[in-house]
Amino acid sequence: MENSQDESETEPLTNNSASSEGVSPNEQPTSTVEPDNSPQQQVKETPILVPNERTAPLVMVETAFLASTASLIWLFNYYFPLGPLLRIFFPVPIALVYLRWGNRASWMSALVSGLLLSVLMGPTRSILFLIPYGLMGVQLGALWRRRSDWLFSVGIGAVIGSFGFFFRFWLLSILLGEDLWVYLMAQITELAEWAFVKLGLLVVPNLTLIQAIALGMVVLNNIVYVFVVHLVALVLLDRLGNPIPRPPNWVQVLLDYEE
């Protein structure tokens, strides 16, 4: 008797609910969830890189994180040098800050990197990082964000790198109390004399020729360096969702790089 009474009480409820919703009792309603109007969906659809009050903490955290990354790469390369392997990453974190957050955040990242290195390694080595790699990172980020071609950005980066090379020689000469440029000229003179003997040229290189060779080697070395930085940034920043301008056609053919 109790079971029949319970069934009689539950049947009207199911029938009324099915008739009111317009569906059969065996079917589940599909209009109970509205993802488009929920607050969580609205938060997910909000662009992350919009410069507003909500993204201000994100800008600060990413700037500090990438600044510390650049500093740690320089620090690790100083105590555990791996040749040119880590040098190609020196300006990339600061350039990434510029691509994501613009000019002010990039300069702040370079300055924070310099301050961190001055605490860890002293002001001299922090200056050697800022000039040229800090400046190069800011400049490359600006050129990449403005979609400049590789010829222009590599040229500007080579000029900054060459300036940084001579600045390093000048600063270290002051600190050591010796003219390191004279030592470099002696090494270039020996190299030029050896090359002239191998080529069968009975010419004694003068000082002007030696300085021109030294300047050409410095500029060529920085051109190759900045070009390799572009290649690394092309692969790395594409994976991070902040692509740089596309390389020339001959580079894409040489590397078999698919956009």
Q: How far is CA 56 from the centre of its chain?
A: 20
The string of DSSP letters for 73-121 reads HHHHHHHS--TTTTGGGSSHHHHHHHHHH-HHHHHHHHHHHHHHHHHHH
What's the pLDDT tens digit per position in 229-257? 999 999 899 888 889 998 888 888 887 76
| Residue in 120, 105, 4 with CA at minimum distance from that of residue 55 | 105
Q: How would residue 49 be classed by pLDDT, with cut points 50, 70 and 90?
A: low
pLDDT over 90 (residue 258): no
Could you tell me the domains of the chain?
55-255 (1.10.1760)
Cα dihedral sign for 66, 118, 128, 130?
Answer: positive
Question: Mean of the pLDDT values across residues 106-129?
Answer: 92
pLDDT at 259: 55
- Of 13-17, 95-99, 156-160, the one with minimum mean pLDDT is 13-17
Q: How would residue 2 be classed by pLDDT, with cut points 50, 70 and 90?
A: very low
